[in-house]
Amino acid sequence: MVILSAEKVAYTYHQTPIIQDISFEVRPGEFIGLCGKNGSGKTTLLKCLGHILKPEGKVSIDGKNLNEIEARSRARIIGYVPQSIQGRISKTVFEAVLMGRKPYITWGVSSHDLQIVQEIISRFGLLPFASRDVFEISGGERQKALIARAIAQDPSILLLDEPTANLDLYHQLEVMEIISSIIREQGIAAVMAVHDLTLAMRYCSRVLIIHNHRIIGDGLPSEILTPDHIKTVYQVDAHMSTDGGIPHIVPIRASRGF
């Protein structure tokens, strides 16, 4: 069963192609990592999948063109986590996460909505910050609140733009474990732009590599995050290693210009 599909998706900004001829399918339970160097189009692709940008080509949800799904329904299906909070609206952490319930609220916030938010805040370790302004907590805790807000939408598809970029090592692993467990428990699909190839190798069930505006690799992390691909895309020599059965990528040297 395909829940999300992209068919020949392309996006051009000021006559400069950002992504071109992007086609792939996503199934429930998949955790897909989008890899590629800075400026490769990972964020642009996520925004096209989330209907934030209007690309050429076609994006479909359960076989229906995304353009034909009304906004409220899209918000119940797709949870989008940007790299940072947009704007400077003062809200507590609890209020920020409660915003994720907006697509379900009609006459007012229900006890069910409040219970969901309470459970998610607890799961993300945010209870001590629940009454704090989101701009008065650390960048890492703020990022966790953004992810929690998207989870509160109860989406079928989760789009994550470098969700661990502002987190320390402990919270990187914590957040990745929570996201992975939610994917397993709820059978949702997730697509994540990620720079940390070791995190992609460890947690993603599938990896797409974007290079020169296009997907040049799509498959299991062990098949795609190879030394050859890493050298082609990142100009870095690297090798694969395992420690206690956990795979990781060891960068050796920049392979160009030094």
Residue 256 has a pLDDT of 63
Judge: domain 4-225, CATH 3.40.50.300.
yes
Structure pTM?
0.92
What are the residue boundaries of the structural domains of the chain, listed by start? Answer: 4-225
Q: What pLDDT, in 10s, does the model give residues 226-258?
A: 888 888 888 888 888 887 777 788 788 887 654
Average pLDDT over residues 66-93: 84
Residue type, 119: E
The confidence band for 138, taking pLDDT boundaries of 50, 70 and 90, is: confident
Q: 139 CB contacts (<8 Å, ≥6 apart)?
A: 166
Residue 109 has a pLDDT of 85
101 to each of 114, 118, 184, how far by Cα in Å?
Answer: 9, 12, 22
Pair 184, 133: CB distance under 8 Å? no
